[in-house]
Amino acid sequence: MERIIVENVSYSYQNKYQTIEAVKQVSCTFESGKLYAVTGESGSGKSTFLSLLAGLDSPKEGRIIVDGEDIAQIDRDAYRRKQVSVVYQAFHLFPLLTAWENVMYPLELKGIPRKEAKKKAAECLEEVGLSEKILNQYPKMMSGGEQQRVAIARAMAAGGRILLADEPTGNLDTENEENIVGLLLKLAHEKDYVVIVVTHNPLIAEMADVRMTMKDGKMTAAEEQ
Amino acid sequence: MTFYYSMKQMFRSPLKSFLFFLLIGVSAFFLALGGNLLFMSKASLEEFEKSFTTIGTVEQTKKDLGMIKWQNPFTKQYEYIKDFKYGDRIREDVLDFEGANYIIKPRQRPYFAAYVEDMYQGLGGRLDIQVEATPLEAPTGQPTKMQITKVWEGSVEEGEVIYITDRSNQDEEPLPFEMGKTYVMRLTGWDIYQEPGTEGDNNEGQINEYYIQSGITSSQYTLDGEPVDDPITDALDKEYDEVGDIAFTDEVTEGFYDTEKGKRWIEAAGQQDHMSRLVLVQPTEGTELLMPFYRDEVVIKEGRDITEEEYKNKEKVCLIPDMLAIQLRKSVGDQVNLPLYAADYKGTPVDSQYGLGFSLLNAEGKMYPVFNEQEYKIVGIYKVVDEGEGSYGMGKKVVVIPWGAVPENSWKDNIGSFGRMSGANTSFQIPNGTIQKYQELLEKQGIKDLKITLYDKGYTQLKDGIENRKLMSWIFLVSGCVMAVMILLFFSNVFITGQQKRIAVERILGRTKKQCAGSILTGLLLLAALGSIAGSIAGWKATGVAAKKADTELVFDLSFSNAATGGEEKKDVKWTKPSVEVALGAGGALIAAAVLISSCYMGANLKKEPLELLGRIEE
């Protein structure tokens, strides 16, 4: 089922010296139950493309339709709160909150009572394979792999079933890298998530259901694997 | 949730948070202390401005000191009495210089003599009498023993034997009396002479000594202080100048009382009656311009003072002394009728409380007629608690009325005495705190032979103290403000800009900008509020302590000020108490500043898109 339709999306921004056309006329679709790997060289526009999908910016041209709605026309805060979650290479956990609280955060944001949020957060953390002893630890006390799992658990807790990941394994060792890739695949295949991963990691590219390539802001290839 | 995570954020960096709380508290302390000291200083100054009055007295100083020789005709002993010599009269106009900025201009004020029928106390005293008498022995020197043949005025008996003297007679010549003749004269009782070998009971052998007054000479001046011509008085004065001491008597012959002089003697015989019914009336532009009131030697025990409005509107109201109120059977609210017949620019009421020091005959030889008669409403009854010094005292039967209640200069033909300006009859008012400026300007005028004494009851020193306190307040306020702004800028940067990543992640997770602001600012503002409240209360309490200390120092300051300005009186001052509202206002202002500054920081951070905050991630 197509959940995301990208139609002729272009995006440019102004830096100090020039206008950079980061994304040019990109059109593609994303379905539930698949893991998409977006690859390309540095500066090819893949992270910007991911940000557009995440609703962190609006396309200058074209439109992104998620579950039938143009995200430019809807409340993008609510969109990020309810439909989409992003995982970054640097994890971006709240350093002053425990693993548990980090995962509870998006739930409480939605107005779910603390007790219920706590229970659901625990389930998400269990699903990403984190033991109970991690729950009350602060990010600084965890390994990179554990932090990324917490980040994924937090994304899961948000519940939108669209998971965007920007180099999620960039800071991880091989073992953790494999674990995270496995986790992302599990989310796509077992939990029916749309998982879009921007990556240089050949492992993810190989394991992905669809491999997309970007060059100079354009989507040059999209291969089912 | 917002509160919980916000506070959690604050408490995860306890040192920073505590430092922020502490520094905000210190800023609030300075602000509350400075604000309260400023408030107290301003309020106290306004209060003191109302309750303090700065007045000046003007006195024409003596140029020379002479001596008058008096003799005791019985013992032939001499005594010398000081005789101060003054130069030409200086008018109060000389003080009307530019920049003087008078509230009430210097004015040499007369007091008025009123003839109040109800004051009658008897047949008159023995001290002032007008009689006809004949010598009992040929005068060979002084004294002269005479027998009273007719009483015109005073409580003496016909046939009474008296001694007549002229103690100021420098030549020691016998008085110009001839045996077998009768003389009319006005006399003042001086002493009682005990005839040698006659001491006994019932005043046996005691003979009263009387001193000859100036009799039928008139005393009248113009508003400019010039004597009004009177041929009879002029002739007597001329004779006095040519012959030296003369006795102001006239021989009574057949038809004497039909002559011009004789008629005057008849007219003069009413003076004792006027003295018996004498009430003195002091017009003034302000009660505080009268030294006894200024020095609190006089207190209003019933009713109230004359109000500024009544002074301004020249209303017919008055203050009367308690003893006079009893004598006249008057109380507050009653009316008192004051027929005014003479004005005195020379003496003061206290000098004249037992009788006027000038002849009541005008230049036409007539008793001064009433020039103004009005009813005055008694608004206050005062009591003299301290009789004061010399002419600066209040006297016993002085009615105080607003200047202008009697039409200006309506007394121009009834001025019985005129003299130089003295501290007791000439005063003015200047704005509080301008003594130094006034003195500098006065010095520039180069006015000679005038002594200006300024009284402020310590206001100048008090004001200086308050000005110092205000400066201190401003230092506290400015330090508090600068410190508060710096602290808020610094900690906003730490707590907000330093939390950019958190803001970005919250935004990515779908928090609205408003929610983000709430999440970041709640803890910060809560700490700022707590610090502000604690600091403000501490500042408020400290102001009370500081003010008490300042009051203790004030006692010394006041005594110094009094010595410098010549006012020995000190006014009890009541300081305005520290205001909790000002303290809370300072705290509130600080909280408002915290909200403003942190909101600006927050706004600036929220303007950036989450990716910008994280640092645009580009491959």
Contact A31, A1 (CB under 8 A): yes
- The CA distance from B596 to the nearest CA of chain A, in Å, is 25
Least confident of A4-13, B134-143, B287-296, B445-454: B134-143
- Average pLDDT in the B264-286 region? 90
Please report whether residue B329 resides in a domain: yes
Instruction: Give the up-direction half-sphere exposure of residue A66: CA atoms within 13 A in the CB hemisphere.
Output: 21
Residue B311 lies in a domain: yes
Residues B451 and B583 in one domain: no
Low-confidence ranges of chain A (pLDDT < 50): none
Asked if B498 and B449 sit in the same domain, the reply is no
Overall average pLDDT of the B514-536 stretch: 89
pLDDT per position as a tens digit, B357-384: 899 999 999 999 999 999 999 999 999 9
Does position B566 have pLDDT exceeding 60, yes or no? no
Domain match, B314 and B439 both: yes
Q: How many CB pairs under 8 A join A and B?
A: 70
- In one-letter notation, the amino acid at residue B604 is A
The band of B466, judged by pLDDT with boundaries at 50, 70 and 90, is confident
Nearest CB partner across the interface for A108, out of B1, B609, B618: B1
Helices (H) and strands (E) in chain B, counts: 14, 20
Closest alpha carbon to B95 in B456, B566, B448: B448
Tell me, yes or no, whether B63 lies in a domain. Answer: no
CATH classification number, A2-224, choose in 2.40.50.100, 3.40.50.2020, 3.40.50.300, 3.20.19.10: 3.40.50.300
Residues B518 and B3: their CA atoms lie apart, in Å, by: 8
- Same domain assignment for residues B468 and B451: no
- The pLDDT > 90 percentage for chain B reads 40
With respect to residue B38, please indicate whether it lies within any of the assigned structural domains. Answer: yes
Better-predicted residue by pLDDT, B240 or A112: A112
Kindly list the residues from chain A whose CB atom is less than 8 angstroms away from the CB atom of residue B501: 92
For residue range B77-100, list pLDDT tens digits in order: 777 888 888 888 898 899 999 998
Residue B376 lies in a domain: yes
Write down the mean pLDDT value for chain B. Answer: 85
Co-location of B397 and B420 in the same domain = yes
Separation CA B150–CA B208 (nearest Å): 16
* Helix %, strand %, coil % of chain B (to 5): 40, 25, 35
Q: Using beta carbons and an 8 Å cutoff, which residues of B are at the interface with A?
A: 1, 5, 8-9, 12, 501-502, 504-505, 507-512, 515, 609-611, 614, 617-619
The full set of domain ranges for chain A reads: 2-224
CB–CB of B509 and A105 under 8 A?
yes
Enter the pTM of the model.
0.66
- In a mutational test of the A interface, the residue from B11, B507, B508, B608 whose CB has the highest number of chain A CBs within 10 Å is B508
Centre a 10 Å sphere on the Cβ of residue B390 and count the other Cβ atoms it contains.
11
Q: Are residues B239 and B304 in the same domain?
A: no
B519 and B412 within one domain: no
What is the tens place of the pLDDT at every residue in B141-176?
778 899 999 999 888 899 999 998 877 766 667 788
Pairing of strands A61-66, A2-14: antiparallel
In a domain, B71, yes or no: no
B335 and B407 within one domain: yes
Mean pLDDT along residues B19-48: 89
β-pairing, B278-284 vs B317-321, is unpaired
State which of B272, B302, B326 marks the end of a domain. Answer: B272
- The whole domain housing B436 covers 91-120+282-455
The pLDDT score that the predictor gives to residue B123 is 40
CB nearest B9 (choices: A77, A96, A109): A96
The 10 Å CB-count burial string (b at 16+, else e) for B531-554 is bbbbbbbbbbbbbeebbeebeeeb
Q: Is residue B137 pLDDT above 60, yes or no?
A: yes
Contact B512 A77 (CB under 8 A): yes
Q: Which two tokens stand for residue A145?
A: 């792999």
pLDDT for B112:
95
For residue B619, what is the nearest residue in chain A, using CA coordinates? A42
Give the model's pLDDT for residue B556: 37
- The DSSP H or E segment spanning B147 is strand B144-153
Shortest distance between the Cα of A186 and any Cα of chain B, in A, equals 22
Give me the number of domains chain B comprises.
Answer: 3
Give this complex's ipTM: 0.86
Alpha carbon B340 to its chain's center: 25
Q: What is the pLDDT of residue B314?
A: 94
CB contact under 8 A, B510 and A43: no
The mean per-residue pLDDT over the stretch B463-475 comes to: 87
From the list B245, B251, B271, the residue with the least C-alpha distance to B362 is B271
Task: Indicate the residue type of B52.
Answer: F
Same-domain status, B318 and B428:
yes
Q: Would you state the pLDDT for residue B562? A: 38
Distance from CA of A113 to the nearest CA of B (A): 10
Is the domain of B491 the same as that of B600?
yes
Cβ atoms B127, B186 nearer than 8 A: no
Residue among A46, A57, A81 minimizing CB distance to B510: A81
In whole angstroms, give the CA distance from residue B147 to residue B278.
30
Q: Would you say residue B501 lies in a domain? A: yes
Is the bond leading into B143 cis (omega within 30 degrees of zero)?
yes
* Minimum distance, in Å, between the CA of residue B486 and any CA atom of chain A: 27
Please tell me which of the candidates B502, B510, B609 has its beta carbon nearest to residue A77.
Answer: B510
The CA distance from B77 to A191, in Å, is 139
Burial (CB < 10 A; 0-12, 13-18, 19+), residue B566, is middle
Residue B507 confidence class, pLDDT cut points 50, 70, 90? confident
Residue of chain B whose alpha carbon sits nearest to that of A57: B609
- Residue B317's φ and ψ, nearest 5 degrees, are -130, 165
Q: Which residues of B touch A47 (CB under 8 A)?
A: 617-619
- Please determine, for residue B437, whether its predicted confidence score (pLDDT) is greater than 80: yes
Q: In what order do the strands lie in the sheet with A210-215?
A: A85-88, A162-166, A194-198, A34-40, A210-215, A218-224
B610/A92 CB distance under 8 A: no
Indicate if the pLDDT at residue B402 is higher than 90: yes
Instruction: State the Cα–Cα distance between residues B147 and B182, nearest whole angstrom.
Output: 9
User: Which residues from chain A sit within 8 angstroms of residue B503, using beta carbons?
Assistant: none
CB burial readout B173-204, b (16+ within 10 A) else e: bbbebeeeebbbbbbebbbebeeeeeeeeeee
What mean pLDDT value characterizes chain A? 88
Which of A41, A56, A94 minimises the CB distance to B611?
A56
Residue that finishes a domain, picked among B455, B474, B498: B455
Residue B323 domain-assigned (yes or no): yes
| pLDDT score of B69 | 76
Q: Average pLDDT, stretch B291-303?
A: 90
Subunit contact B5:A97, Cβ cutoff 8 A: yes
Q: Considering only CB atoms, which residues of chain A are within 8 Å of chain B?
A: 22, 40-44, 46-48, 51, 54, 56-57, 77-82, 85-86, 88-89, 92-94, 96-97, 101, 105-106, 108-109, 114, 154, 158, 166, 200
Domain boundary among B437, B455, B473: B455
pLDDT for the residue numbered B570: 54
pLDDT at B557 over 60: no
Question: Do B474 and B406 fall into the same domain?
Answer: no
